[in-house]
Structure 1
Amino acid sequence: MSGFHQEAVLGCSQADLEHVRAIVSQAGTSFARGMKILPAERRYGMFAVYAFCREVDDIADGDVDVPDRAAALEAWHARVERLYRGEARGALDRVLVAALTRFRLRKEDFAAVIDGMAMDAGTPVVAPDESTLDLYCDRVASAVGRLSVRVFGDSSPDADRVAHHLGRALQLTNILRDVQEDADRGRLYLPRELLTRYNVPLVPADALYARGLDPLCRILAARAKDHFREARSAMRSCDPVAMRPARMMAASYGPVLSKLLARGWVHPDRPVHVNKALRLIRALVAYVR
């Protein structure tokens, strides 16, 4: 009986669904557990979106062996075009076609994610201007959010507003958390205008020791808090059931930003530890609300 149920999900075979689920599981994140709150159809739709993001992200980060990362990402653009014509050449393709058809996912959002990964695949991002940083956050985070809210069950303009603000809130939090790690990879995502204002060098390794790094990062943290607040406001106009995963993500990331603010950026190499039980409780409270 369980095999029959699996085959009914998105009209896909059990083998194809298992292939997509395995990509998510092998990534080693808590994403698969978090998506258990969704009905099977939406859960596997999210697995397909995540698997797509995982594959293009691995190309951008050099975690897969390809001769030319830019060419490999461009090939994904062609692959997405084929998907929207209903052409599938493998298990992931077949589940993606089913998901984009069932949930009316927009081609331009897939394209934006690929373009965001391309920004990381080329010359390391160092001190982008404000507009480029915002574009980067939109492509690598908010575009994923726009795909996700449709799978969750809400394609309204307010749901897109949630994706806009929550994506930026999460990505800015990641940037603030990973300043040291990014610098070790020759990257510096902090905006050029703020670096200049606070006399922080535009060289990643040197920026870590600048006196102005802490006040600069607190400015970005305040922006992230504003985006969290705007996302929560937009959620109130959305389908409350569809927004459960978004509420849980916001509730889970909130403590990370709080811990970063408490630690500061005088010593950005010091790890930030967030009580996992507290994060779980906050996520559960967000779920029932």
Structure 2
Amino acid sequence: MLHQEFSGSDVAAIGRIARIVGRTPEFTKADVRDSGALREVFVRHRFDAVIHFAGLKAVGESVEKPIEYYDNNVQGALVLCRAMAQAGVGVLVFSSSATVYGNAASVPIREDAPLEPTNPYGHSKLMVERILQDLEASDPGAWRIALLRYFNPVGAHPSGLIGEDPQGIPNNLMPNIAQVAVGIREKIRVFGSDYPTRDGTGVRDYIHVVDLARGHLAALETMQRERRGMTVNLGTGRGVSVLETVRAFERASGRAVPFERVARRAGDVAECYADPSLAEKILGWKATYTLEDMCRDTWRWQSMNPHGYREESRK
């Protein structure tokens, strides 16, 4: 069951999902902050659990539009929790983010590291984490909540049928690189080349979206089995720089990816990668896709769908 207004996504993806799994998902097109629409969904369907992905997610944009981020991300979570409580559904997997750690004093980052986000997006995720922790503590018998702190999701489904299709200039590195490689854009901008890292560019922990999806299923299965919530990192434990990512994509695609070095972007940190050992211990989960796999699958998606879902949506 999907419930979304397709901000940052496209209805054409529903048909693509059906082609992959052989079954069309039910979905409701609505804003997660629309309490009436949410109530209707919970009345029409019986759910065992909810996975909450809905939210705005661009660090730079959050600095420019903080009110929109707090309204969408925090208010959306509150409305959802009220609807769940009214329907008697208490199992929730929340899409959190490694941005809650901010400029970590050391890497790899463990779950008990200080939580000091440096931008409104990270603050909004931490606020929701606090709300959900308080909710679970208020009635442990009714609520089981998994807080999954994503590092940097990239890649696409290996079939090439579904992938990231940003509208306008992408906010994230991998779709930017892919659009340059396919010829939509002339070059990428590398934000900051004076960080204290091995090549001066930011270092991130990129995780394949398929590994990420497996992590959500593992969290649901663990909560059903052990009847408790959790807070875990979902990452590979390997930090990769911007320039290393560009080179890996060039190898995967066989295309050159020109780039321009520009000033740092507000809210970005120098280095961020996970210690994922707790997820392996609690969930029995471990990332298996390599950077090369991520670049290969992103390129397959982009080369098969140069303009994303847009052409299909117009048919």
Q: TM-score, length-normalised on structure 2?
A: 0.31
- Is the strand fraction higher in 1 or 2? 2
Higher relative contact order (CA 8 A, sep 6+): 2
